Structures are given as structure tokens and as C-alpha cells.
Structure 1
Amino acid sequence: PALLPAPAIARPATAPLGRAQESLGTRVPAELAAAIAAAAKSDRDVRAFYAARDWRPLWIRGGRIVPEAGALLDLAATADADGLKPGDYRPKTLANALDRARDGSPRALARAEVLLSQIFADYVQDVRRPREIGMLWADQAVVPVVPNRTVLLRTAAEAPSLARYLDDQAWTNPVYAKLRAALAAEWGDPDSEPLLRLNLERARILPPADSGRRYVLVDAAGARLSMIEGGIVRDTMNVVVGKPEQPTPMLGGMIRFAILNPYWNIPPDLVRSQVAGNVLRTGLGYLRTKRYEILSDWSESPKVLDPKKIDWRAVAAGRRELRVRQLPGKGNAMGKMKFMFPNDMGIYLHDTSEKNLLTREARLFSSGCVRLEDAARLGRWLFGKPLVAPSAKPEQHVNLPEPVPVYVTYFTAAPEGQRIAFRQDVYKRDPALLARVRGRSFAAR
């Protein structure tokens, strides 16, 4: 794939400021506290933030505006790199307020202080507001929620270093931050800029680094899975995803349990196109070799049917639908385990008996589900211990004590180390969205 450097956006050198450098008990000069209260009077969210901290400033230290304010001004002025309008964040007004605050008067300092907090909260809210990109949500617990402005300010104030918090853009996620930096470097490029913008919208739905959350990220375009915690990629592995004609959907859910020694319930279209065809060509021995059994229905307690009594020509022709499942054990397509995030599309993550496919460069072989290079490794990360079936009993459910979000995404431009990789649009999802990017017509959810 084509690669571009992903440089960091330049920031002024700053001294760390945050919870470690300031005490909640620090007294604020009465005149400055009164000026902050007056400046925040008409903004309920910002006023609530300052009132809860006894009007103690976030952006003032030693009677001066901190250098970190310059980093925020830079973000506001370059908000078009976020698909936003810089004018909404008043960069000129902020620059003027910062200039006037140089005289050290409480009123000018308070005006700049409150304006910085307002612009920060408005900007971060808008960055965190997802657009319509075709993502399906199987669980309300993972639908992105835009925090209120008071919470955003409190999170920034509690960061060990405000400078690092701004520099890392910790209110976003690592994928978003690196794509934004690459977009700033590629500004105006007719080919890469729209693609970076599009994938920035796809990255917007991921949890922010400052949430500290654990989650699983599956990138179908790159056929890779990442285990992420607190904005840090802890582990990665190859995966096999859906064929172009059976694409893996963009889907968010919660991994709630694992199934050990799983059956493989063969999709009806494969029963018709493959199983029935093989039975007709090679005989019923095919079913024994594959360890397939024929079931009466899709209930939890189906009857096992005699394959000799099945009209396999009717099945192959689509006149009869049949439930076929593969028994657990050697050769089972599900391998030893699968990880379930309940959804209406029958998509899950699972082990596989076809490990050879995971070493190929293009890994587009499944019917939509995600096959794992090392299911046991993912299980250890999710559960904090090895997942081992205590017996050969089929379909052993193991609940995950704390469900973990999973985001099945599709990045045709994504960070790979310190670079951005541009990937083939194997599912042909980009053209319609690129038209919206060029027309600036992305709607918020």
C-alpha cells in the first residue's frame, strides 16, 4: 500500500500543568475569582465547572495565561482538519483575548480563561459527535455519546498534564489523532485529502483515550484486529474477513460471552450451494467425513434427521431449507472457541481450522464473520486467564464478567506504525462517502 508520513501537528513548548501541579486547596485571588464568575455568568455548563472548583482557573498560572492556550488556539484555527468550521471556535476572538490578557488585569485574564474553556468544550464536543458513515449498532452500550461540556472540562482539569492532554488530543483516539496529523500534512492533495477526511469520520466513533476503556477494534479493510486499552494498542493479530460478495459489516457491539467447543451452524446459502452439491456428487459419506449432522429446525432442542431421507436435489435447488451443523472437534470451522457480541446479523469472532489463510496478504475468505489468527490469545486478554473447556461437552458458555466493546470498522486509510497506509476499497464503500466528503455534507448522528 501507498504510505505517507504521519507527522505530529506542531505545538508550542509548554510546562506540564494539571492535577499534579495544582492543588484543589489553592486559594484564588478574590478579584480574579469574582471576574471568572462574572465572565462565566451566562454559560451554565462552564459556570458549573468553575463553581465546583471554587472559581479556580484552568488556563492561568502565576498570574499569566499558560502556554497550553496556544495549543488550543492552533486546534481551533485548524478545525477544518476535523471536518469542522474554524469560525465556530472564534480563533481571532481568542487570539485577541489572549493578547489583552498579557496586561495581567483580573478582568482580561478572566475573559481569556472563560473563553478558552468555552472554545475547548465546544470544539471537543463537536470532534466527538459522530457522523453517519454506515455503522450499525447492535448494542446501545457502545453507541457514541457526546459528553456535556462540564464533564469535558473536568476531565481536562484532572489530567496529570494539560500540556500532554492537548498534545495527545486525548479526547479522541490514536487512529483519529494520527489521521488528523496526516491530513494537516497532506492539505490540498486532491487524492489523499478526501480519503483521509473520510477515514477521519470513520475513526470518530471509537472511544477516546481519556475514557481508559478496553475495546477490540477489527479493521476489515486491513484484515487486522487490535486490542486497545486507554488509547494504547496492547496486541494485534491477523484476521480473515468477508469475501467482497459477502462483506463483513461495519458493526459495533459488546462481547458478552465466549462459547467453547462450538458447533458450526452452516448458513443456509452454503447448505444449498456447497453441502447439498457435495452430497449429490460424492454421496452421504461426505457428511460423515465433515462430521455434519442434519437437524429438524433452528430450535434449541432439534431432532437429528436421517440424511438418507432428505431430498438433496430439492435442497440444492432451494426448494427445501435445511439446518446443518458441524460437530465440535478436529476440523470444526469454528475451531475451539468463538466470542459473541449479540447482533441480528449473525456476526461474531471465532477460532478457525484454516490457519493457512491467515498468512495471506489478502484475507477475504469468510461469509462475513471474523476468523482469528490466535483465538486463545484474544481470550486471555478478554478474560484475564486462559480459556480452556473443562470437558468435551459442546457449546459451553463462559460469561465475560465485564463486557468489552467491539468495533468492526473499515479503514481504507489508517495508521501503520508511524505512517499512514492507503488500502484497497475491497467492499466498494468509499465512492458514495467520498462524494459527501467533497460536498461537506456529512450529517451528525
Structure 2
Amino acid sequence: MGILSAALSALMLTPAVAAARGAPPPTAPVQIPYQSANLPSSGEVAAFYSGYRSSPIWFSGNAAKPAATEFIQILQRSPLDGLANGAQYAAQVQAALAQATSTGTPQAIAFADHTLSEALVLYAQTMSRPTQGVTYGYEYMRPKPPSATKVLQIAAGSPSLESYLASVANPNTVYTGIRDAAWRQMQASGSAVPDPRVVVNLDRAREMPARGRFVMVNSANQTLYMYQDGIPVGSMRIVVGDNGQHLKNRPDTRTPLVTSMMFYVIHNPYWNSSDILTRLNIAPRYAAEGDKYLKSRGFRVMSDWTHNATEIPASEVDWKAVRAGKVSIRIRQDPGPENFMGQLKFPFANPQDIYLHDTDPADRNLFALAQRTRSNGCVRLENAEGLATWLLGHSPDKSITQAEYPEQLARGVPVFVTYITAQPVDGQLTFLKDVYGWDPAGGTRVASGE
């Protein structure tokens, strides 16, 4: 018999034949029954382990991997992340790990491994929840909590479990800056309960990416930031929606929370008046000044709100009914130096029709205000040309005269219209004035709005 044939025959020996020839039978892997810590994810995790035949995720032999200790520390601070029972889960994990270390039995190691995995699934799912109150321009941008199987497959297959934990716990620099400052203050004060304002702010900050470019519009301090790979590379003052304090006799126009994607810069945009502005501003002025008022502002009465709308004579409009709110009409302003949108518009999909835009010269004084909550919901930019240059990779072409001319970006850029009042400054966490009243009650630490 050849060497290869003999080797193949040896591999094909049955346990009975092997025993008759004096060879030990092959050893079957020992499957420890699933031992649950009864955390809320235990059912999902048990289903994963029922088909999992590899070595424990959190142990190398009888020794716990360093990631197990790191995860306990993550869980201890996880109430800040929104996992309310995180400290309790940390204690359960710590107890299971101590038992496994002291006894070294397969059962104790299995129990600790399962407990760590149950807690990991809960934490990973918490860190992937959609932000409350946010409108998503595209459904694919809405975060989707992963299944237990996905979380544990990644953890088990990761070359570095520590690196995987770090990626889950630190979604972006805005988030980690707020969370780490808050955790230091909790440790220094001995507090076990996080400031609810921090939890809400972290929920708003969680979705921003760690890599690539994105725009963050922070209505809380009325500032826009341009981010590249987690680092702010530019900023500018903005004017955001009013909360009813300045624009009297109008409904609440606070700029909403929006997560979307920007694909175009619009040159020479039209401006379309809202119903409330037409009723309260334009209709009374037309009654007093007639067609002269409309022409001096570049206003036209349009037949409808479609792209194919045509101009209709203002004399055909029942302006008294418009003032009374009984008739709705479309007023469109031509592009030009007096256009309320300025020269540039930055659209992104959202049902509220919120967008960023340039500002006409008459309203540039608004950027000098300390609190810039003076718009009807959209966002006025202090330096629209600078944002366009950053997005496009070149200065906007001022020779373009076509109205509503769209210039496509080389790649879509995420935009996050958010409300971040928590501000880490020199390692300490302070809070901006809550101009919209969206934060829960908390302490009294207040930072400046600039």
C-alpha cells in the first residue's frame, strides 16, 4: 500500500476499528449547554450559540481576553449611551468573569462567555437606534439595530475584539467628546445617574460618521460645521428657525432635526413664499402699493406649484381672500441681488422642505446677532460661497446666469441638522442656552453660544 493510500485509510477509520487496532477514537468537541444570565437579549443569543461550534468568543483557553475587562468599563458608563441598566449588566458580567477566572471550569467559562455576549448585543443595539425626533430624507440613512447573530458573528470573527468594541462605543468624535467629558464629571462627583441632557445630546450626536465628509448644522448655537474624517475643517454662523419669540403672529418655525444627503448646489435659485408670509406680508403690501410692490421685489404670481407653472396677472387674484387665509397662491421671486435666497441654495431631501441657502444683502445684519433664531425654518448661511467651494472642490462659477441651475457634487455629502447643547470645553462639559426648549431639565452649567 502506498503512503498516500495508507494515510487516507487511517483518516477513514471508524472508532470501533481504531479501538481494535489500538488507536484512540477521535475526540468529539464538548458542547457546554447554553447558560443564560437572563438579560433581555438571552433568547437571541441562545439561538446564536445553538449553532456556534467554535471556541468561546471572550476567552482564550481558560483566560479571559483583555476585551472582556474593557467591555465591563464600557458597560459601567453605558447609561450615558442610553443603556439605562448598563451598570447592572456590568456587575453581572464582572461577577461571571470572576467566577470563571477563579474556578476555570468549562461551565463557569461558558456562563461568563454567554453573559458577556448577551450584554454586548444589548449595547450594540442601543448604539444603533434611530435618533428620536429625526426626519430621515432617505430610508437607508435610518439606523437599524443589528441582530444578535450579526453582532456576535462580527465579534467572533474580528481579528481584534478590542477594536470591534472601540468601533461600536465610539461612533464619532462629536459623540465621544461629549460622552467622555460627562463620564469624567460623573466619576469626579460620584454620581451614578447621568444628566438627562447628556443622554439626549448623545442620542442626537450618535448618527454622525467617523470617516468621510459631512455637514453638521447645529441649531443650538446657530453654527454650521464642515467635517472631514472626524475633524471640523471649517465653520460659519447661520440663522435658523424662530421659536416664536421674534417672528410675531406666526406659527412655531423651529428648524427640525433632519438627517439627509446633499447631491447638488443650486445656482441662482428662485424663492417661493410660504402661505403665512404671503398672507401676513405680501398681501397687505400689495393692497397698499399694487403691482409696483411686486415688480420692485421681482415677485410673480404663479399658476401652481409645479415646475411647469406659468405667470398669471396679479389682478386676477382675490387678495382680500388671500389676506383672510381663504385662498392660497404661489408667489415666486426671480433670481437676482435682492432674492431672499441669495445666489446659492443647498437642497437635501426632507418632507419639511428645509434647505440651506445664501442670504440677500438686506438681511446680512442677522449674522451679527448673538442668538440667530430668525428664519422661517430654513437655514441662512454666512458664507454660502465657502460651503459651495468645499462641497464642489472649486469656487462656484459666477458666470452662470441660468435660473435654478443645478451643479452636481462629485459624491453625495451627508448633512445632519441637529441640536447639540452639550459642549465639552477643556475637558469639562457645559451646556448652551436651550433656545428651542428641547432638552430635559438638568443642571445649571451654561456655555456661551459662540
| TM-score calculated relative to the size of structure 2 | 0.72
Q: Quick one: structure 1 residues 413 and 283, their matched pair in 2 at CA, closer, same or farther if it must change by over 3 Å?
A: same
Tell me how many residue pairs correspond in the alignment. 395
* Bigger relative contact order, structure 1 or 2 (CA pairs below 8 A, ≥6 apart): 1
Give yes or no for contact 1:69–1:116 (8 Å, CA) kept in 2: yes
- d(CA) in 2 for partners of 1:163, 1:296: 62
- d(CA) in 1 for partners of 2:126, 2:383: 38
Query: Which amino acid in structure 1 is aligned with residue 304 of structure 2?
Result: D
The Cα RMSD (Å) is 4.0
Specify the alignment match of 1:203 in structure 2. 205
Give yes or no for contact 1:37–1:47 (8 Å, CA) kept in 2: no
Q: Quick one: structure 1 residues 232 and 265, their matched pair in 2 at CA, closer, same or farther if it must change by over 3 Å?
A: same
Query: Which amino acid in structure 2 is aligned with residue 371 of structure 1?
Result: R
- d(CA) in 2 for partners of 1:62, 1:376: 60
Query: Which amino acid in structure 1 is aligned with residue 74 of structure 2?
Result: L
Q: Quick one: structure 1 residues 236 and 107, their matched pair in 2 at CA, closer, same or farther if it must change by over 3 Å?
A: farther
Q: Quick one: structure 1 residues 373 and 58, their matched pair in 2 at CA, closer, same or farther if it must change by over 3 Å?
A: farther
1:323 maps onto 2:322 in alignment: no
- d(CA) in 1 for partners of 2:203, 2:48: 27
Deviation by residue 1:189-219 (Cα, 9 ceiling, x = unmatched):
7998232233233334x1453xx45433222
- d(CA) in 2 for partners of 1:402, 1:237: 22
1:180 maps onto 2:182 in alignment: no
Identity of aligned residues (%): 34
Q: Quick one: structure 1 residues 219 and 191, their matched pair in 2 at CA, closer, same or farther if it must change by over 3 Å?
A: farther
Equivalent residues in 2 for 1:9-158, closer than 5 Å? 43-45=46-48, 55=54, 59=58, 64-83=63-82, 84-86=84-86, 89=89, 91-98=91-98, 100-101=100-101, 112=112, 115-130=115-130, 133-152=132-151
Deviation by residue 1:345-402 (Cα, 9 ceiling, x = unmatched):
2211112223332232211111001112222333344344444366311011234454
Specify the alignment match of 1:14 in structure 2. none
1:249 maps onto 2:256 in alignment: yes
Deviation by residue 1:261-306 (Cα, 9 ceiling, x = unmatched):
1101111211221122233344533323322222222222222233
- d(CA) in 1 for partners of 2:311, 2:329: 11
- d(CA) in 2 for partners of 1:361, 1:226: 17
Greater gyration radius: 2
Q: CA deviation at 1:339?
A: 1.8
Instruction: Give the counterpart of 1:287 among 280, 287, 294.
Output: 294
Q: Quick one: structure 1 residues 407 and 283, their matched pair in 2 at CA, closer, same or farther if it must change by over 3 Å?
A: same
Give yes or no for contact 1:349–1:372 (8 Å, CA) kept in 2: yes
| Structure 2: runs of 5 or more not aligned | 1-27, 37-44, 245-252, 443-450
Q: CA deviation at 1:340?
A: 1.7
Task: Identify which range, 97-106 or 377-386, moves more after superposition.
Answer: 97-106
Query: Which amino acid in structure 2 is aligned with residue 394 of structure 1?
Result: A
Task: Identify which range, 298-307 or 341-350, moves more after superposition.
Answer: 298-307
Q: Quick one: structure 1 residues 112 and 382, their matched pair in 2 at CA, closer, same or farther if it must change by over 3 Å?
A: farther
| TM-score calculated relative to the size of structure 1 | 0.73
Q: Quick one: structure 1 residues 416 and 137, their matched pair in 2 at CA, closer, same or farther if it must change by over 3 Å?
A: farther
Q: Quick one: structure 1 residues 252 and 60, their matched pair in 2 at CA, closer, same or farther if it must change by over 3 Å?
A: same
Q: Quick one: structure 1 residues 45 and 255, their matched pair in 2 at CA, closer, same or farther if it must change by over 3 Å?
A: farther
1:409 maps onto 2:432 in alignment: no
Give yes or no for contact 1:351–1:374 (8 Å, CA) kept in 2: yes
- d(CA) in 1 for partners of 2:292, 2:194: 54
Instruction: Give the counterpart of 2:265 among 258, 262, 265.
Output: 258
